[in-house]
Amino acid sequence: MPLGARAGGLTALAGALLAGSLSSGPAAPPGGASPAPPGVRAEASALPGLDPDAPKADPDAVAARLLGPLSDPVLGGPATLVVDALTGQVLLANRPTEPTAPASTVKIATATAALTALDPDTRLRTRVVYLPPASAPPAATAGSPAATTGSAAAPGRAPLAPGGTLWLVGAGDPTLTAATGAAGYPPAARLSDLAEQVRKAGITAVGAVVGDGTAYEGPGMAPGWRDGYVTDGNVTPVSALSVDAGRATPGAAGPRSLTPDAAAAAAFRTALTAAGVSVGSVSTGRADAAAREVGSVQSPPIPVLVERMLTDSDNDLAESLGRQVAIARRLPASFDGATRGVLGALRDAGIPTDGASLRDTSGLSIDNRIAPATLVAALRTAALPGHPALRTVLSGLPVAGFTGTLGDRYGPGDTSPGAGVVRAKTGSLRIVTSLAGMVTDSDGRLLLFGLFAPVEEQGLTKMALDRVAAALASCGCPPAGAGPPSAGPPAPPGG
């Protein structure tokens, strides 16, 4: 796309936000956003569409343009697939149907499955249930006067007798947080809100708080996961109950908890104490069926969770969304159920999964195998008309030089042509470095690609993959001998 055609990037981005094709964060503070600091790009392309009038790229021309970047020895001969998003024409292919280790690019499959299998209005609901001591009157339930007024108990009723048990019952929301400051975007469910609901139900003391993460089953770690994933802060063992995804404090880097349900129960005790509810012991276990609900909070809706998973490459969200797909498809909420559910949902959407074998839905397992053609087909399904629910797959992809795991890439230099126009999911393990997404070439044609280098990620490896994607972005690749496209008649007044 000529430079002039990209000059209106901010206007196009604003238009896309108003049209609902991209998610926006919270409103800017009074006075508007601060200007970008020197050296920071102030333009990103809107979510691209399919332009049937844009000149088609020629396979031979694409191959010639990418020959140099793909031949970089640091890439080790990557599996490659480039297709025209509108027509599906294969423009370049190297082992496209051979199952390969995807690393985190498998999150494209997880996102597609979640958006097809789950209702977009679904929210993951964390509950608090209470079983009073035998001598105490029953607790007020959510919606009763005791739960909605500011008093400690309903009018005419004394607070409940001390004792009894509270269960914090997880439904798989890893964004549940112990934070008490200003809400971020998307606003997460909070333990402090649950604690206030408990206090308003008239409960001033309990003998025990119990964390219940039993909505998910099976082991918390998948085959092919390194033992160091938890201590390195990549993921917490999968549980239906966690707070801040097992981090020691909200947003903290470093090791995660090996027992996220127990850590969540301990964090809830802290929140209860701050709300004026005294707590005895803390443990984990399944909630008593006779316990009554006294509070609940909800996650953001599924499409927002999917977008965050893709942009930030959030492993905890990916594993939880996989289990939600399993539950929706009446499969066990385990690694096995999640992977079967995701692949089944892809097939139901008409996406081929030949040869795929997954051990998790985050991409952390070195045992995962999936064909580049499967992930590119998922991207094309999202890009084509007729699947509006899947647009989140595209809007959630990190934007080169701007957001998520591509925010610090495509700076000045030979990768800069991709800044703002490459949108792609990253992936890295000790056996693969990958990049899969979309790019609008310099003629305005939307191309989809998957690049899978069978080498461990290093700075040079990522930059080499970025050069390939940047070469696609700068590719006006008509057939040999074809001249530049006609500019056409002038636009009428008003654009």
Q: Which of 263, 300, 305, 283 minimizes the C-alpha distance to 126?
A: 300
Cis previous bond, 186, omega within 30: yes
Taking the C-alpha atoms of residue 85 and residue 440, their distance in angstroms, rounded to an integer, is: 10
- Per residue, the 3-state secondary structure of the chain, as one string, reads CCHHHHCCHHHHHHHHHHHCCCCCCCCCCCCCCCCCCCCCCCCCCCCCCCCCCCCCCCHHHHHHHHHHHHCCHHHCCCEEEEEECCCCCEEEEECCCCCECCHHHHHHHHHHHHHHHCCCCCCCEEEEEEECCCCCCCCCCCCCHHHHCCCCCCCCCCCCCCCCEEEEECCCCCCCECCCCCCCCCCCCEHHHHHHHHHHCCCCEEEEEEEECCCCCCCCCCCCCCCHHHHCCCCCCCCCCCCHHHCCCCCCCCCCCCCHHHHHHHHHHHHHHHCCCEEEEEEECCCCCCCEEEEEEECCCHHHHHHHHHHHCCHHHHHHHHHHHHHHCCCCCCHHHHHHHHHHHHHHCCCCCCCCECCCCCCCCCCCEECHHHHHHHHHHHHCCCCHHHHHHHHCCCECCCCHHHCCCCCCCCCHHHCCCEEEEEEEECCEEEEEEEEECCCCCEEEEEEEECCCCCHHHHHHHHHHHHHHHCCCCCCCCCCCCCCCCCCCCCC
CA 409 to chain centre: 19
Q: Which of 194, 210, 208, 211 minimizes the C-alpha distance to 147?
A: 194
Catalytic residue chosen out of the listed positions 104, 192, 320, 365: 104
Catalytic residue chosen out of the listed positions 107, 200, 425, 462: 107
Taking the C-alpha atoms of residue 266 and residue 256, their distance in angstroms, rounded to an integer, is: 14
Residue 107 is among the residues annotated as catalytic for this protein: yes
Q: Which of 447, 421, 424 minimizes the C-alpha distance to 437?
A: 424
Catalytic residue chosen out of the listed positions 45, 192, 242, 313: 313
Residue 365 is among the residues annotated as catalytic for this protein: no
Residue 313 is among the residues annotated as catalytic for this protein: yes
Tell me the catalytic residues. 104, 107, 313
